[in-house]
Amino acid sequence: MVLLVAWCILLVLCWPVALVVMICLPLFWLLSLPLRLIGISVDAAFALTKALLFLPVRLLGG
């Protein structure tokens, strides 16, 4: 919602920049998707490693 309001203010103040932002924003989103997937994968790998390291403690009831 804040992004929409900021874009509307930018549209009123400087409409060419607002149009460039409107065109480039989906491109930046598409470029950031692989980085998000890498982040999710790394987070999952760390969670698996933590679960495997703490498994003996959980089995012994500690």
**pLDDT tens readout for residues 8-52:** 998 899 889 888 988 998 999 999 999 999 999 999 999 999 999
- The residues, ordered by sequence, that sit 6+ positions from 10 with a Cβ below 8 Å of its Cβ are 17, 18, 21
Cα–Cα distance for residue pair 62/50, rounded to 1 Å: 15
Alpha helices in the chain (DSSP H): 2-13, 15-59
Q: What is the pTM of this model?
A: 0.58
pLDDT value of position 44: 97
Q: Angle 16-18-20 (CA atoms, 0-180°, nearest 5)?
A: 70
Give the model's pLDDT for residue 51. Answer: 95
